[in-house]
Structures are given as structure tokens and as C-alpha cells.
Amino acid sequence: MPSDATLTEGTIRFSYTLRAPAPGDRIAQADSDAAESWCAILRALGLLGRDAARYHGYAFGNVSVRDSRSRARFYVTASQTTDKPCNAPAAWVRIDGCDLARFSVAATGDAPPSSETLTHAAIYAADAAIGWIFHVHAPAIWRAAPRLELAAVGAEVPYGSPELATAVERLAQSHPARPLLFATLGHEDGVFACGADADGTAGALVALLARASR
């Protein structure tokens, strides 16, 4: 990848340990199916996936869902996989623990976790009611954020950083409406949607795209 990790989509900036999964460590099939039903739509809209003309050709965006068996954990799509179907259990990595001070992640899966794992972790820590997060790259929404009066993390907060994780946790705590939608102005085209369930969360994101396109 290019050397500037602050600019390159998909660069993992935290340290992590990755344990091989046992059968009982896999994501519930109902959750991966729900994710893929929306990911297919988001790919078709250009909000998720891979495009040779964008972000140096690297895959962009990610999805996560709380583990129904232990809400202290969550599953996130593996790094550089959102251009592929995510209804296969191996497409997901379980996040067992995060240490923001050490900027490290403990995970269980077949591949490294998403580069935005700590940002997802901060959102889940901010609100126990949030069960799903969709992170997309939506130029139309990102550029229209002021007009849409969309909540946002400032442009001075860099992508994939501890500062971003801290900022989004504060934002989630200070904006009680759910689903929560916000832009990350220091991460080109970055938009997050966070809510209790997949349909309400991703549906709100698509509705926001419609508003941004008017």
C-alpha cells in the first residue's frame, strides 16, 4: 500500500492479535444474511465495495454487528473484503476486546479486522442500544453534510486514529437520536450509520443519500 497511512483507505493503523476461530466463534447466519441483503444494495449504489478509480483501487467501507451471544463483543467485516458477499461466516472477524490507550485489538477470525475497528468499538461503547453500524463512502452525502445539517467529526481528526475513536464516542453520546448518521470530515467521503437493527440503520442511510441527491 502507499506509505501515507493517513490517506490510504484500508490501512490498518492499530496493532492486533488474531486467533483462529472454532465453529462456535462464527457469526450467526441470520446476521450475516441481514448484512449481505443491505451490502448488495450499498454496493450497487457505490457506497461500499471496490472501484479502480477510487481510493487507489482499495476496497472501502465496512459493516459491524454486536455479537448476540455476548454484547461486549461484535463482528466486523474483514479488511479489504467489502467488494465480496459478506453472508459467508469467514467474511467476518469477531472483536473480543479493544484497548484504545494501547491502540490494539484482540480478534478471532480468518483475516485481519477492518481498519476502522476501533471506531466501531467506540460507537458500541457509547450506546448499548446500538446493534449495527454501516460505514460507507458517500461523496454526495459527505459534500452536502452542512446543507443536510448532518452531525460530523471535524476535518482535523485523522482517519483510523485514536483521536477519531474518541471523537465518535463523544459524538454518539451527545447526539441521542437513533439511527445516528454522521460524517467524518477528516476521512474522505466517510459516513457512518448506527442503530438498533440492520433495516432501520441501512434504510436511514439510503434515505439520507436520496436527500443529498436532490
Q: In the prediction, which pLDDT does 6 show? A: 39
Whole-angstrom distance, CA of residue 133 vs CA of residue 76:
9
3, part of any domain: no
Assigned C-alpha cell, 40: 448488495
**In sequence order, what are the residues at sequence separation of 6 or more whose Cβ sits closer than 8 angstroms to the Cβ of residue 147?**
none
Structural contact between residues 94 and 75, judged by C-beta atoms closer than 8 angstroms: yes
* Domain tally, the chain: 1
Q: Residue with C-alpha cell 479489504?
A: 80
Q: In the prediction, which pLDDT does 212 show? A: 98
98, part of any domain: yes
Whole-angstrom distance, CA of residue 151 vs CA of residue 182:
5
Structural contact between residues 175 and 199, judged by C-beta atoms closer than 8 angstroms: no
Q: In the prediction, which pLDDT does 159 show? A: 85
26, part of any domain: yes
5, part of any domain: no
Radius of gyration of the chain (CA): 16
The distance in angstroms from the start CA to the end CA of the chain is 36
Count Cβ neighbours within 10 Å for each residue of 69-91 and write b for 16 or more, e otherwise.
eeeebbbbbbbbbbebebbebeb
45, part of any domain: yes
201, part of any domain: yes
CATH of the domain at 147: 3.40.225.10
2, part of any domain: no
Q: Which residues of the chain have pLDDT under 50?
A: 1-7
Structural domain containing residue 180: 15-212
Whole-angstrom distance, CA of residue 91 vs CA of residue 72:
20
4, part of any domain: no
pLDDT digits (tens, 9 = 90+) for 89-126: 889 999 999 998 899 999 999 999 999 999 999 999 99
pTM of this prediction exceeds 0.85: yes
